[in-house]
Amino acid sequence: MRKSILSGILVFFIFSLTGVVSAEYDPPGPPAVEVRVLLLSFTPLDNFDDGWNGKSDIRFEASGSARDGKGYSTYFEYDHDSVKGKVVPKNKEGKNVMYVLYTVRECWPVDLEVEIKATDIDNPPVDPDDVLGSAKFTVDKMVKKKYYNVVIPGKFVVNVYVEAVPVKEDSDKCAYFFDQPEAKSSSIVTKSGANIYDFEFANMLKMWIADRGFANMLIFFQQCFGGGMTDDILRKIDGDIAITSAAKHDEVAYGYNETSVGVKVDPFSREVMEGLKSGKSAKEIGRDVERNDDYGVYAKGRYSGDVQKSREHVQYASEGDGDKVRLGKKADGSDVRSKHAIVFAGDPDDTYDWTEVKGFVDMLKSKGFSDEDIVVLAGSGRSSVNSYVDGPGTKQALWNAIRELSGKMNKDEQLVIFVTDHGNLETTDRALDRLINDPVKQPIPPRNEELGDGRWVLDEEFLEILNETDGNIPYISLMVTPLPEVVAENLTSEFLGHLTLYLNGFELEPEIIEPVYALDEIPDLDAFEVVFPVYDEELLGSENIIELSFDNSDLFQPFTVEMLIISTGGIPRVIDVEEIPAEKTPPALMLELTPVFDVVNETLILSDSSILTEDEISGLISRDSLFALMVEKKDWYNNNTHLAPGFIKDWLGNTRVNVEILMDDGSVMDIYVVTENAYINEFERGKLDDANAKASLSEETVRRVISSDDPVAEVQKAYRGGDIQYSGVGFVESVKVEVVKIIVKIYFAISDILG
């Protein structure tokens, strides 16, 4: 192919991006993105000689399935005498250029089908006869596939590039809160190791704050999986509440690298502090964080599939008039009568963790909060270098702090909570409620069917997060309720210390035993948490058998396992580069693996270049022509069903068949056939999900049958020789087909004898 001859090709191009400013977005997002379909090149499959000067004016235009997308037209003058092979548009300087064919603004991930149409506009006015053809392709939802070679049968192969560019100014249209699944939990890491689960934190706020009355709450989670803390609180508490989290319930949060330690706070925390200090509303802060977080979804110029895994999706949710709440204010804008704040960092192990804690405290003081208004719980507690800290970052300390605040709460009180440091993700059965009345080793299967039948199932995302870093220690936790006399005699720790847990046959010993007060909304002792660390992560797999025994039969008394929790352990925020370079547009003609989309065939052929070779084009043309010939034979068959034996029409006259054709180039073309009363109603490319029969044959066999003067005899021959394989799907259909095969053989034999 000649790649550089393009003089005189480009005639006219209309380009405008202003037609989509009022786009209607579809959920769920985020981010809001503008999807752009750009023409890179096209390869004519015909010479389009008009008989006059050997030139043709070709117009490419696009339309899409989105409600408010914008299509564009591009005009080319194609001279088949001077240009051979692929046509690459160039500007006046001779550089390759891309032309926009279609744009639409959508929420992530995208749901879009685009149709490209080619028209010969040599002789205006243009009428339907001038349309050369069109083809559709479906944009990959994640826009991970960038290049598509769209085949307009017999006319063009159009090479397009698809990109999705974040639209920061429209972020509010795609802001979406993702609820955490029932079988999952999030938790806050603590210094003691007994972490604060989302349901516990919600119950603490419910029993000590909400039930006493409050004006509003502002809550911020700068930790991994913080979105999972949010939904529990909003389900438990009514009122004016606004919650912002740096990350979804199932994703890690990000932080600066070591060169920034002690210099500045995390991007999420920076935006939160600046917003609160400047008097912005909770919703404004939530949207600003999403737009301006250096590690958020709008941080890169172009949004790729990889970004989905490596970006924070800021989560904002509210209850009542929480959107309107500002620091020190009620939702109506008036001042609150009193205000308090809790700043919590369970196990801060980096300098910038402490920088964030101190930064948030200083911000609060600048807005009128006194030392008495602020409770700081962090690490091991107060030290000579952290004199502003009031207590350790433990579950018990948080419980005590919230309980003490309850005496100060009133309907004019604002409560601000800021949580930073690490977070955990858990797979949880909250309603296990298993009575253990024997000390012998016994299985502990999940009660929640979502978690498996007898085995504890961990999904791929959970395992991926579990193995993402070496800085975490996963664990299995039991919420255990001993008999009252065991608790009364202060024998709980000794008693529960005799528990041994078996994970897939390996023994685990308890290392943490702590009382739990917030499994429900009543402020009393609910259970004891027994934590079994899993120091070898490889012990946890996709399916897990958990067993439990009590190793001292003399001390044994019945007890109940209320809950079982499998935790990733504390996941540190991912340390990323300080500056994130904007992703550049990939070179138009470079790609390691290009999906070549054969639209009519609805399959993807993998090519090592975005440039189709002569052989690849020939293959596509061959495939198109073969299918076209088969369609013609379909019409011949429908007009000659009387030639088929009656018994075959009775047995197989209503059939749904998937047909595989092995092409000469080694690929497979799938088609399906639906018959009714022996007539072919549907004959299309693709596969049926509910087929009751399947057939396979080669391209050579198909062409042999099609070109034969006696197709029935040729099918007979091919079937006898094993060139056509046919079988039923399912037991009944398989039996039916086998019976018909026997009858057909007899029929063929008789036909041969009788001529």
Tens of pLDDT, residues 623-651? 555 666 666 666 666 666 555 555 455 44
**Helix residue ranges per DSSP H, 316-426:** 351-366, 395-406
User: What homologous superfamily does CATH list for 614-754?
Assistant: SCP2 sterol-binding domain (3.30.1050.10)
* pLDDT at residue 42 greater than cutoff 50: yes
Cα dihedral sign for 152, 153, 154, 160?
Answer: positive
Mean predicted confidence (pLDDT) in 447-471: 85
Question: Which CATH number is associated with domain 426-571?
Answer: 2.60.120
Q: Does the fold of domain 614-754 match that of domain 10-167?
A: no
Q: What is the pLDDT of residue 689?
A: 82
188 pLDDT tier (thresholds 50, 70, 90): very high
Candidate from 117-121, 222-226, 471-475, 719-723 with smallest mean pLDDT: 719-723
Tens of pLDDT, residues 89-122? 877 777 888 888 999 998 888 889 999 999 988 7
Tens of pLDDT, residues 524-533? 999 999 999 9
- 3-state per-residue secondary structure call for 731-744: HHHHHHHHHHHHHH
Q: With contact defined as beta carbons under 8 Å apart, do 676 and 685 qualify?
A: no
195-199: Cβ within 8 A, 24+ apart: 195/346, 195/395, 195/424, 195/567, 195/570, 196/346, 196/395, 196/398, 197/426, 197/428, 197/565, 198/228, 198/229, 198/231, 198/232, 198/233, 199/232, 199/430, 199/518, 199/519
Tens of pLDDT, residues 544-598? 999 999 999 999 999 999 999 999 998 876 655 444 434 344 333 322 223 333 3
Domain ranges of the chain: 10-167, 181-422, 426-571, 614-754
Tens of pLDDT, residues 305-347? 333 445 788 999 999 999 999 999 999 999 999 999 999 999 8
pTM confidence score: 0.70
User: 10-167: what CATH class?
Assistant: mainly beta
* pLDDT at residue 269 greater than cutoff 60: yes
Tens of pLDDT, residues 156-170? 899 999 988 888 888
Calpha distance 199→426 (Å, rounded): 12
